[in-house]
Structure 1
Amino acid sequence: MCKKAVKIISLIMIIITIIYFKNISIEVESEPYVQTIYANADTFISQHNKTVNFHALGYLEVGKGFYGHLRHALINFTILGIKGLPRNIEIIKAELYITRYKLQDFLYKGYVEIAVCRVTSLWDYATVNWIYRTYTERWKNMGGDYSKPYAKYKVYSYYQPKKTMVFDITQMVKEWYNDPKKYPNYGLIITCVSGKGLIYFYSSNMRAIEIQEKPHIKVTYIYKIKITPPSSTIIIGTGNTKTIDIQVSGYCPYTVNLELKDYPSGITYNFTPPSGHTTFISKLSIMASPKMSTGTYTIKIHAYGRGIECEKELILKIVPGGDFSLSLNPSHIIVSQGGKNSSMIRASISGIFSSQITLSVEDVPPGFIVTINPQIISQYTSSSITVSVNSTVSPGLYNIVIKGTGGGKTHTIILKVEVKPIPFNFDIQVSPQNIDVKSGEKVNINISTILLAGIPQQLSFSLSGLPSNTNYIFNPQSIYPPGLVVLTIDTSNLDGTYSVTITASGGGVTRKATVLLKISGFDFSISVNPKNIEIFQGESKTITVTVTKIRGIAKPVTLSLLNLPTGASYNFNPSVLTPPGTSILTINAGSAKGTYVLIIKGSGGGITKTVPLTVNFKERKCIIATVTYGSEVSNEVNLLRRFRDNIVLSTYAGQRFYIAFNIFYYSWSPYIAQIIHENSWLKLPMKILLYPLIISLLIATNIVQPIIALNREIAVYVAGTIISSMLGII
Structure 2
Amino acid sequence: MKHIKKSFGLIFLLLVFSIGTYVYCTSTITTKVNMDSYVVSGGYANDNYGSRDRIFVGKITLGDTYEMYAFLHFTLPDLPSNAIITKAQLRLRLENKNQFTSGEKKAFYVYTVKESWKESTITWNNQPGTDYYVTHFYIEDTTTTPRYLYITVTKAVKMWYGQEGSHANYGLKIMGENKPGYLEIHSKETTSGESYKPTLYIYYTLLTVTVSPTTVSLKQGESAALQVKVSAPGYQGTVSLSVQGLPSGAAYSFSQNSGTPTFESVLTIATSSSTPPGTYDVYVVAESQEGVKYKKKITLTVSSAGDFSLAFNPPTITVPQGGGGSSTLIVSFTGGFTGPVMLSVQSKPSGFTVDIVPSGSTATVTVNVASTVSPGTYSVVIRGTGGGKSHTATLTVQVQSAGFSLAFNPPTITVKQGASASSSLSITPIGGFAQDVTFTVESAPSGLDVEITPSTASPGGSVTVTVTASQSMAPGGYSVVVRGEGGGKSATATLSVTVEEQPFDFTLQASPSSLSVDAGEEATITATATLVSGSPQELTLSLSGLPAGTSYSFNPPTITPTGSSTLTIDTSGLEGSYSLVITASGGGVAKQAAVSLQVQAFDFTIAVNPSSVEINQGETVTIAVTVTKTSGTAKKVKLSLLGLPSEASLRSMRNSV
Give the TM-score taking structure 1 as reference length: 0.27
- Kindly indicate which of the two structures has a greater share of residues assigned to strand: 2
Larger Rg: 1
The alignment's TM-score, normalised by the length of structure 2, stands at: 0.30
Higher helix share: 1
